[in-house]
Structure 1
Amino acid sequence: MGKTLFDKIWDSHIVMSKPGHPDAVYINTHFIHEVTSPQAFDGLRKRSIPVFRPAKTRATADHNVPTMHQHLPIKEALSRLQVEMLTKNTAEFGVELYGLGHPYQGIVHVIGPELGITLPGMTIVCGDSHTSTHGAFGAVAFGIGTSEVEQVLATQCILQYKPKRMKIEVNGTLKNGVLSKDIILYIISKISASGATGYFVEYAGEAIRNLSMEARMTICNMSIEMGARGGMIAPDEVTFDYIKGREFAPKGADWDKALEYWKTLYSDADATFDQVLTFDAADIEPQITYGTNPGMGMGISQHIPSLDQLDEKEVPSFKKSLDYMDLQPGAALLGKKIDYVFIGSCTNSRIEDLRLVADFVKGKQKAADVVVWIVPGSKQVEAQAIEEGLDKVLTAAGFQLREPGCSACLGMNEDKVPAGMYCISTSNRNFEGRQGPNARTFLASPLTAAAAAITGRVTDVRELV
């Protein structure tokens, strides 16, 4: 019987396997940042053990860093302490750090791919749930907890039960104004925020294969938002072209050898998945969320469900969510006034996202009463945007191009949305307080966010492109 892509990679990385026990899986690359690593390093220190293979770990500062005036000391005390501890710990244990001021600094799931560290066939972990992003390269990548971070630092292995396998096919051609973010929000809205719990997802189909690598990363990034352990896409020529020539990618004979292996990384025709779901790209319109989990989403032209459309057991949490958002069942979101627009995060902060937004807003001006933050995912993205003149276009439109970091994706740094305000965000989560205490978040694509920035309201971008 044939194997799925996931099985091929997982099985080849098993160090030890016993019935009834988790597999001991070797990890090729371990990414760390300032939030989930301090306790892990402290655990090593208390046990007087080193990092087993420090060259397999890369560190960066991203979650708690300010996105303005990064050359100055960090104002917020806890954030400053965490970044300082990352610097201290990586120096003590011999781990490579891309800290503030380093040309490779950025969001961990942005810098891995752009530097050629993330490669097909790898196992990749990080103390961050959106590690699934790296699965776009045909890698088995997933988030881990702090105790597991320590486990990987100490052994370069992790104990994990093998998840079930799901395939999600998206066939056909996307309509104008529909992006990869709309694809994944659509899927999550159809299967719910827990619909893939216990599974590792492989995305396939014509609509997926026609995406760029950066668009594929957006898809895999949000796998966790439907409960999946991770998501992945089989590598192809698009993948290989993206990787070739990057800083840490294989070169010369090593490239040829790697490419030969990468071309074997696909699900066999007779491979069996535990579940297969199929969607038609033609059914997808620009998406927006209305509630407080990513599964509470809909097409931009649709209405929030009414109570009689719900299962009785869903009603209490649905009402609680709409109360928080100050929205009514059955209402439309089109025309809803917006206060903030955030374009960034590990979901949508890459150069293609910034190019798309700049191209859309060129010659336009943001609504006077809307605050717009554009936060590149890395120093390299920032430098590329400036080299291409995107910064000038965005500034002319009234958008604020900030410095790299996780920013307003989560309320852990200075970039918070004020209480009661509405923000259209290209990030991945819309939980209560996610962007700041009592902030209200609508998740959408970079194009839908840019359209709202210009009009000051929830807008169907198809009317403007």
Structure 2
Amino acid sequence: MAKTLFDKIWDRHVVKTIEGDQQILYIDRHFIHEVTSPQAFAGLRERGLPVFRPAQTIATADHNVPTINQHLPIEEPLSRKQVDALTQNCAEFGVNLYGLGHKYQGIVHVIGPELGITLPGMTIVCGDSHTSTHGAFGGIAFGIGTSQVEQVMATQCVLQRKPKKMRISVDGELAPGVVAKDIILYIIAQLGVGGGTGYFVEYAGSAIRNLSMEGRMTICNMSIEMGARGGLIAPDETTFAYVKGREFAPKDADWDKQLAYWKSLPTDTEATFDKEYNFRAEDIQPMITYGTNPGMGMGVAAQIPEQAKAGESEATFQKSLTYMDVQPGQSLLGQRIDYVFIGSCTNSRMEDLRMAAALIEGQKVASHVKAMIVPGSQQIALQAQAEGLDKVFIAAGFEFRQAGCSACLGMNEDKVPAGMYCVSTSNRNFEGRQGPGARTILASPLTAAAAAIAGEIVDVSKQAGVLA
């Protein structure tokens, strides 16, 4: 029987089917961080249970860590408490921790791929919704709740219902200034925040295949923002070239064996999906959001819709525009901005930093804008320094910070003040996401970098000469 990529991996990992449509799924990799693990460790302690397979559990500190002076004690009491608890729990239960000061510390969805811990064909979970990032390698990766974190720690399995399957194909050539972040913001704007509910999404088509692994991770990262359980992309030569030689990737004969398996994973020609969508790359412009969910997105040169989209209530639409202090029919070109944040598990990798640096070099951040570059890991920070990108950013007026989730969310010291507009490369623009009252506009690293220089939202596609 012809199978999809998703079916091939899922079916291989089913331990047992129970109660009709519930299945016990074996998990190859379990990533944890300081936010969703304390209760799980406490549950194990109460039950007198160990972590069943500690070698398959990888921990790092990312959400609560400061991004300056990481050698000093964390100032915020709650953040310090959570990071300290992770350190103590990992030591007690024998879990490998890449904590502050470790050369591999960084955002959980950045370090897994860059270390070769994330591999094709795997099932991967984490108590974090953006675990779908790892699906870019051709694996099934999804976020789980705190009780499920404990479940995986105790059994290396999780109880799940198999999702339906969706394929989203994007074919054609992207216009200048349009990158992976624009693709996924466009898809979410078209389908809405509930468009993927109940589905696991496979991304396909020539525009997807032509992306780097960094771009593919950006696409899969935001699958959850349209309600999908996760997203994945078939592994190919781009995938294999990225993985080979990384710290914990297979070596020698093991590599050859794994590679043969990985090459068998792509969806069979005759396989079917429960739902399919097809988009043209040529229709995608540089994207921005205007509201308070990622589905409220539009081309940067467009106008804010006059009314709510299908599936969105008029009350929610109006409340969102009030929060953002914008009006129906308004263009956001020329909208003054206050902050720019380039980072997060969506856009903090070397490709993101390189594209931003190429646009910024030789220019200055607008005097009224506070702009931050936050690498996704210590290794990325070191690589950026080795390439001299840090000097480009600092000369332009950006702060070049240390690794962490930073201003993606208001759980650390890098918050955006109330009423301020922040053009952010992160994945969510909810009310208060970057701090109480903060107004978030999601965009690509290129659009964010251009906004930092101009001090307002601009159409980066008009700067094609800079991007060539």
TM-score by length of 2: 0.98
Q: What's the counterpart of residue 350 of structure 1?
A: 349
Q: What is aligned with 2:430?
A: 431
Match of residue 450 from structure 1: 449
Report what 1:278 is aligned to: 278
* Residue equivalent to 1:11: 11
2:440 aligns to what SS in structure 1? strand
Per-residue CA shift, 1:220-276, capped at 9, x if unaligned? 000000000000000000000000000000000000000010000111011110000
Counterpart-to-counterpart distance in 2, 1:331 and 1:359: 30
Secondary structure of the structure 1 residue equivalent to 2:461? helix
- The answer to whether structure 1 residue 134 and structure 2 residue 138 are counterparts is no
Alignment of 1:206-245 (within 5 A): 206-245=206-245
How is 1:169-208 mapped onto 2 (pairs within 5 angstroms)?
169-208=169-208
Q: How does 1:353-372 map to 2 (within 5 A)?
A: 353-372=352-371
Matches for 1:31-70 after TM superposition, within 5 Å: 31-70=31-70
User: Following TM superposition, by how much is the alpha carbon of 1:313 offset from its aligned partner in structure 2, in angstroms?
Assistant: 6.7
Give, as a single letter, the amino acid of the residue that structure 1 aligns with 2:142. Answer: F
1:159 and 1:343, CA in 2 relative to 1: closer, same or farther beyond 3 A? same
1:195–1:358 distance in 2 versus 1, CA, 3 Å? same
The secondary structure found in structure 2 opposite 1:17 is: strand
1:22 to partner: Cα distance: 1.3
Structure 1 354/311 Cα, relative in aligned 2: closer, same or farther at 3 Å? Answer: closer
CA distance in structure 2 between the partners assigned to 1:18 and 1:89 by the alignment: 32
The one-letter code matched in structure 2 to 1:11 is D
For residue 19 of structure 1, report the CA deviation from its aligned partner.
5.1
Counterpart Cα distance in 1 of 2:44 and 2:110 = 28
2:120 match: secondary structure: coil
Q: CA 1:312–1:154 in structure 2 vs 1: closer, same or farther (change >3 Å)? A: closer
Q: Which moved more, 1:15-24 or 1:273-282?
A: 15-24
- Secondary structure in 1 matching 2:36: coil
CA distance in 2, matches of 1:304, 1:382: 37
Secondary structure of 2:207's counterpart equals: helix
Whole-Å separation in 2 of the counterparts to 1:116 and 1:175: 32
Q: How much has 1:285 moved relative to structure 2?
A: 0.5
Match of 2:122 in 1: 122
Distance 2:312 2:147 in 1: 35
Task: Give the match's secondary structure for 1:187.
Answer: helix
TM-aligned CA deviation for residue 314 of structure 1: 2.2
Q: SS state of the match for residue 18, structure 2?
A: coil
Q: Report the 3-state secondary structure (helix = DSSP H, G, I; strand = E; otherwise coil) of the residue aligned with 2:313.
A: helix
CA contact (8 A) 2:366 2:455 kept: yes
Q: Distance in 2 between matches of 1:311 and 1:138?
A: 32
Equivalent-residue separation in structure 1 for 2:176 and 2:458 (angstroms): 15
Q: State the match for 2:78 in structure 1.
A: 78
Question: Could you tell me which residue of structure 2 aligns to residue 406 of structure 1?
Answer: 405
Do 2:21 and 2:162's aligned partners in 1 also have CA atoms closer than 8 Å? Answer: no
Where 1:464 maps in the other structure, the secondary structure is helix
Q: Summarize deviations over 1:17-70 as a string: whole Å, max 9, x none.
A: 135241000000000000000000000000001000000000000000000000
Cα deviation, residue 290, structure 1: 0.2
Deviations for 1:379-430, whole angstroms, at most 9, x for unmatched residues? Answer: 0000000000000011111011000000000010000000000000000000
Match of 1:419 in 2: 418
Q: Who is 1:249 aligned against?
A: 249
Distance 2:289 2:355 in 1: 21
Distance verdict in 2 for CA 1:318–1:44, change over 3 Å? same
Asked if the contact 2:104/2:377 (under 8 Å) is kept, the reply is yes
Q: Classify the secondary structure of the residue corresponding to 1:231.
A: strand
Distance in 2, matches of 1:44 and 1:425, equals 38
Q: Which amino acid aligns with 2:319?
A: K
What is the Cα-based RMSD across aligned positions, in Å?
A: 0.9
Amino acid at match of 2:352: D
Contact 2:189 2:298 in 1 (8 A): yes
Do 2:167 and 2:277's aligned partners in 1 also have CA atoms closer than 8 Å?
yes
What amino acid maps onto 2:251 in structure 1?
Answer: K
1:152 and 2:187 matched: no
Provide, for residues 122-160 of structure 1, a one-character-per-residue CA deviation record: whole Å limited to 9, x for no partner.
Answer: 000000000000000000000000000000000000000
Q: Is the 8 A contact 2:107 2:404 kept in 1?
A: yes
Aligned partners of 1:366 and 1:311: how far apart in 2?
38
- Where does the alignment leave 5 or more consecutive residues of structure 1 unmatched? none
TM-score normalized by structure 1? Answer: 0.99
In 2: Cα distance, 1:46 partner to 1:299 partner: 52
Residue 242 of structure 2 aligns to a residue whose secondary structure is helix
Structure 2 residue ranges without an equivalent (≥5): none
User: Counterpart amino acid of 1:62?
Assistant: D
Cα deviations across residues 306-326 of structure 1 (Å, max 9, x unaligned)? 13x756972111000000000
Deviation for aligned residue 1:464: 2.1
Aligned to 2:288: 288
Query: What is the rounded CA distance, in whole Å, between the counterparts of 2:143 and 2:53 in structure 1?
Result: 19
